[in-house]
Amino acid sequence: MVGRFVHDKLEKGRYKLTSQRAAVLDIMMDNRGRHLSADEVFFEAKTRLPNIGIATVYRTLEKMASLEILHKTVFDQGKYRYELCDENAHHHHHIICLSCNSIIEVQDDLLNSLEKHLEEQGYRIIDHELKLYAYCPDCLQKRRDDSTPDVSS
Ligand SMILES: [Zn+2]
Ligand SMILES: [Zn+2]
Ligand SMILES: [Zn+2]
């Protein structure tokens, strides 16, 4: 089931959903909130359509990114990861944990005031993208636990 948001973009781009393209889109919709590499999408697609080729998956992901149905971001070693675009105009931001590599989404946006500040200087800001590299609370806790002297021995 394709929502109106996606449907309109397919129509605007005159992009027909073949069974293979639909499978790729389904996978992205089933994995909302996750950030999948092309390889991961391909792996999943193979279970649904055993004959699908990696090139088709790549092309479909790229095309859907250009239609702004998917958003792609480089997270690790120059590899793109894809996710469904947010339906509201603003894209969320990401925190990447340097220890467990988890990708956490941040919905808060404090950049509007920075944009406003720059626009007062004569810039016209079109978009922004923000990635924060951090240690997540779980990893910090684990590290704290590890460094606590073992009192039982
Ligand atoms: Zn972590
Ligand atoms: Zn995301
Ligand atoms: Zn933002």
> 105 alpha carbon to ligand 2 midpoint, in Å?
5
Show which of 72, 87, 102 is a domain's final residue: 87
- Pair (119, 63) in one structural domain: no
Q: Over 70: is that where the pLDDT of 108 sits?
A: yes
**Nearest-ligand number for the alpha carbon of 130:** 3
Read off the pTM.
Answer: 0.79
What total of structural domains would you count in the chain?
2
d(CA 6, ligand 1 centre) in Å: 33
Q: What is the pLDDT of residues 54-63, one digit of tens each?
A: 999 999 999 9
Are 69 and 97 within one domain?
no
**pLDDT tens digits, residue range 66-107?**
999 999 998 877 789 999 988 876 778 999 999 999 999 988
Q: Which ligand is nearest the CA of 136, by number?
A: 1
Question: Ligand 3 mean position to 78 CA, how many Å?
Answer: 22
- C-alpha dist (Å) from residue 6 to 3, 44, 49, 69, 70: 6, 21, 22, 6, 9
Strand locations in the chain (E): 36-37, 70-76, 79-84, 93-97, 103-106, 131-134
> Same domain for 13 and 83?
yes
